[in-house]
Structure 1
Amino acid sequence: MVNVALITGGASGMGLAVATSLSQQGWAVAIADLNVEAGEKAAKDLSGTFHRTDVQAFDSLSATFYAVFQKHGQINFVFANAGVPERKNFYARTDGISGPPTGLDFIIDIDLKSVINTCYIAQHYFRKSPKSNKGCIICTSSIAGIYPVRFCPIYTAAKHGVVGFARAICKHFYENDGIRVNVLCPGNVRTNLFEKKEWDQFDNEWIELSQIVKVVEMMLFDETQFGQVVEAAPQNHYVIETPKYNDPNVKRTLEGPVVDSIGK
C-alpha cells in the first residue's frame, strides 16, 4: 500500500513544501486547507487530494480524516501544520476595556486547539490502520514555542502550548500504540503568513523551505525519533531538551505508577 500523508495548512508554505517532497517520493498526499483555489491547485500538481478544512471546527477536521481514510484505508503521517500569526498589538493603549484581546480566540483556536484536535483524531485513525503502520505526527510550533517573543505574546502562548502538549502525549502514544510525535520549531521562514512589507522589517537570514523539508523528513523517516522538539535554523537544526526535574518529589509525582496507569 502507498504511504499516505495528511497535511493541515498544506496548500502553501511549509505544508506545501513537505507535501511536494513526499509526493515526489511516491506518497499519496491529502491537502487539508481553507484556501480552495490554492488547495485544489496543489492537489492537482501533486496528484493528491484536496479537502476543504476549517481546522477551527472539529467536525470539519474529523470529516477530512474520515474521507482520507475511506479513500486509502490507512494514514501514515499527519503534519499538524496549520497556523496563523498574531497581527494586533497586545500592548496598545486604550481608553477602556470592552473585551478580551483582539484575536485571542482565533489564534488559540488555530495555533493550539487545532493541533490538539488533529492529534486526538489522528490517534484513532492510526489505530484503525494496518498494524504494520504505527503512524507519525509532526506538530508545527515555532521558535516562539521555545523562547519568549514579546511582540506576539498570544502566539507565543499558543506555540509553547503545542510543545507542552506534544511532550505530554508523546510517551503514551509511543508506548501504547507505536505512534511517534515530534515537534517542528522553525525560525524565520518567509511564507504567506505575513505580507512582504512585514517581512522586510526583519534583518535576518531566512530559512529556506528546503531546510524545513529536511528537518521534517528527518523526524518522519528516522523511526527512533519520538518526543523530539527540533528548532530549525537557516543552516542547522537543534534538539531542544525537555527541562530536567529540580525536585525528586516532582519527578516521583509525574513519572510514578499512578500517572503511568492513566489511560491504559
Structure 2
Amino acid sequence: MRGLKDKVAIVTGGGQGIGRALTLRLAQEGFKVAIFDLNPAAGEETARLAPDASIKTYVVDVGDYAVVQAAVARVEDELGPIWLLVNNAGWDKPMPFLKTDQALWDKIIRINLYGPLNTHHAVLPRMVAHGGGRIVNIASDAARVGTSDEAVYSACKGGMISFTKSVARELARKNVLLNTVCPGPTNTPMMASVLGEGEQAVKWKDAMVRGIPLKRMGEPEDYAGIVAFLASEDASFITGQAFSVSGGMNMI
C-alpha cells in the first residue's frame, strides 16, 4: 500500500483476534503500531510475532476518558504524530434482550460505544492539527441487519456507523477520513467464548457457516487488507463508508 511507511497507528484491542491480525499487517506495511489493550501480555505476544517491527503496547481501558487522553499523548511523544486510529476493541455477552439488565447494558456500551467516542475525541484534534489522518472503526454486520441475542451490542455498532458518517462529513475538509469495516462471524477468542464448547457450540457454528455463501467463518486476517487499504494513499477519496467483509452473508 502507498504512503504507510513510518507512519504511526493506534489499534485498540490489538493484543488478540482481529486486532492482532490488524497490528501485524500494519507493521508489515511499515507502520509504527501502538496497541491499546487491557492485557499487556497479549500485546507483548503480538509484538514477538513481528520481532523486526515497531510495535509497542500501552495498557489502556478505552472506557476511561482520562486514561485514553494520557495514552494518546504518550504515543505522540514516543512514536510521533498519529496517522491512523483503528477502533477494534469490543465485547459482548449474547443473550435475549429481555433477560439482560442495566449493568450488562452499561458494560457493553462503555466498551463498544464510549470507548471509540473517547479515542476519537483524543485523537481527532491532533489529526486536524497535523493536517490529516485516517480512522477505521471495526463495527459488525450485526449493526447493518441486526442479530438475535445481541441487541445492545448491535445498537452500539450501528451507532458507530452513524457516528463515523457524521464525523466524516465534519472533517472531510481537514483531510481526516473515517470509514467503518463490518466483519461477519469470525474465528476469534471472543467468538470461542460466546459459542462455548461441546455439541451445541458445533451446531451454532455450523448454522452460521450455512448462511455464508463462501461456506466458512471469517479469519482475523480477512480484515487486515481492507484496513491497510483504507489507511493508505490509495483510499484518499473514500470517506464515510461502511464495508461489509462477511463472505457474502449480508449483501446490502
Q: TM-score, normalised by structure 2?
A: 0.84
Is the Cα contact below 8 Å between 1:88 and 1:102 reproduced in 2?
A: no
1:48 partner SS: strand
Name 1:165's counterpart in structure 2.
Answer: 163
Among all aligned residue pairs of Structure 1 and Structure 2, give the percentage whose two residues are the same amino acid. 26
The number of residues matched between the two structures is: 229
Deviations 1:106-148 (A, max 9, x none): 001111111112111111121343x4xx100001110111112
Alignment of 1:202-213 (within 5 A): 202-203=205-206, 204=209, 205-213=216-224
- Aligned partner of 2:244: which letter? E
Name 1:23's counterpart in structure 2.
Answer: 27
Name 2:213's counterpart in structure 1.
Answer: none
Q: Distance in 2 between matches of 1:123 and 1:149?
A: 31
Name 1:76's counterpart in structure 2.
Answer: 83
Alignment of 1:5-44 (within 5 A): 5-44=9-48
Aligned-pair CA distance for 1:235? 6.4
CA RMSD of aligned residues (A): 2.1
Name 1:4's counterpart in structure 2.
Answer: 8
> Of 213, 224, 237, which residue of structure 2 is paired with 1:224?
237
Which structure exhibits the higher relative contact order, with contacts defined as CA atoms closer than 8 Å and separated by 6 or more residues? 2
Name 1:148's counterpart in structure 2.
Answer: 146
- Aligned partner of 1:43: which letter? A
Q: Distance in 2 between matches of 1:154 and 1:212?
A: 24
Is the Cα contact below 8 Å between 2:86 and 2:138 reproduced in 1?
A: yes
- Aligned partner of 1:202: which letter? K
Could you list the runs of 5+ residues in structure 2 that have no partner in the other structure? 210-215
Aligned-pair CA distance for 1:88? 3.9
- Aligned partner of 2:60: which letter? T
Aligned-pair CA distance for 1:21? 0.9
Q: Distance in 1 between matches of 2:57 and 2:129?
A: 22
Q: Distance in 1 between matches of 2:250 and 2:23?
A: 21
Rg larger for: 1
Deviations 1:4-24 (A, max 9, x none): 111101111111111101111
Aligned-pair CA distance for 1:52? 0.2
Q: TM-score, normalised by structure 1?
A: 0.80
- Higher share of residues assigned helix: 2
Q: Distance in 2 between matches of 1:210 and 1:237?
A: 19
Is the Cα contact below 8 Å between 2:183 and 2:244 reproduced in 1?
A: yes
Is the Cα contact below 8 Å between 2:33 and 2:56 reproduced in 1?
A: yes
Name 2:185's counterpart in structure 1.
Answer: 188
